[in-house]
Structure 1
Amino acid sequence: MSSSPDATPTAHSGEPHPGEPHASGLAQRLNWLRAGVLGANDGIVSVAAVVVGVAGATPERAPVLTAGLAALVGGAISMALGEYVSVSSQSDSEKALIAKEKHELATMPDEEFDELVGLYRGQGLSEGTARQVATELTHHDALGAHLSAELNIDPDDVVSPWHAAWASLLAFLCGGVLPMLAVLFVPEPWKIAGTFVVVLAALGTAGSIAAWIGGSSRTRSVTRVVVGGALALGVTFGLGSLLGTTGVV
């Protein structure tokens, strides 16, 4: 039985499929999510490596606390600064390209229109269709059409270095606090083992979130960060224990 001609198929409703990233501001959200996950991962590993290494050399709390706080604060500032500088360079480049495209549209609109038609033809459209699409999009938003087709840039979604810096700073602090609390407050017989468990569990969580954000395999992501974290902890603890045993520190 044929469907009614008045029925509107779901596939043609114009609505995005569930789970697909069509919303505006996607670059901003991915920017601070990425910075946050990386900051948490680095905070967990770097601070844990420091406190476990010092704990392997001495059972006293004061050196562990001092070294841990230095690693926590210094690492958080370093991560935030690195994110700010990196994302600022990306943001400056995008803004420069937007300004250049505005200038070209103002000074040579005909050449820019022909370029847009050529880009659509390169994507497989016929000459007539490409010209019609270019005409309609130019009337709607000429700058947006050119930035999207030529540079894949959304002028309303330029990444913010401040968002990335703050996300990285706060995530590093949150991640770095976990190994410090574990190594300071877990009772002595289980101090190192307990710290290893807390750190690897936290890394597994961070790896799972990173995989969710990127749409990749959670198993592969979690395995990668957990194995790397375990290696870092093992090396630094072994080095600290060696220095403590030999009396170097």
Structure 2
Amino acid sequence: MLEGNRVSPISVRGFAVASATAVTAVGSVVGVASGSTAQPNDAEATAADSTLLADIPAGQLAQVQTASLTQQADTQAIAADVSAKKVAEETARKEAAKTAQEKKDAAEKAEQAAKERAEAEAKTKAAKASGPASFPVQSSYSIAQIQAMARSVVSSDQFQCFSNIVDHESSWNYRAVNASSGAYGLFQALPGSKMSSVGSDWQTNPATQIKWGLNYMDSRYGSPCEAWSFWQANNWY
């Protein structure tokens, strides 16, 4: 029964208190003064029955309980912070690994593309050096033969543009002559004699004309496709 601000003596099995400053554990109260009977086999019986916690002010008891709850909350908060930090670190590690792999893949693709370009350029140079010259000289040539000559020296990615220009200029007639200007051959060179820089047989050998035409497009425009873009805009090149 309450007497003023104090509590009656009570039988104690143990009362544990802990605060942020390491309050000493003394057990937890499990009995009441009115007729509480200790169990013989209770592991805490001996210590509890011999101890009486009397005259503890109610306000002090509340403070101890509050300190204990506060410490528990702080401990839980610290554990949550540690867990969150581990999750953040693992996420950052995975993201860094992903980024590194993406960069590696991009570098490998770029390296492969550069290798393929170099191989294509090497093939084109080799073809330019020996392509048309490998065709035997004939008294006349079919369009299919002339186109085969062109394919042997013009890279596959540029051939369609090259062909478009020849289609519009001469329809693949290596003896075509413009009645007004005198422009001559597959590319309607003006004058036609400028093709002699490649070979003296420029009038009769389409291989000579093809070599000259490709050199002209590369030197003046950068490539057959660049030459074709100019032609489309101006109807000449």
Higher relative contact order (CA 8 A, sep 6+): 1
Larger radius of gyration: 2
With normalisation by structure 2, the TM-score equals: 0.25
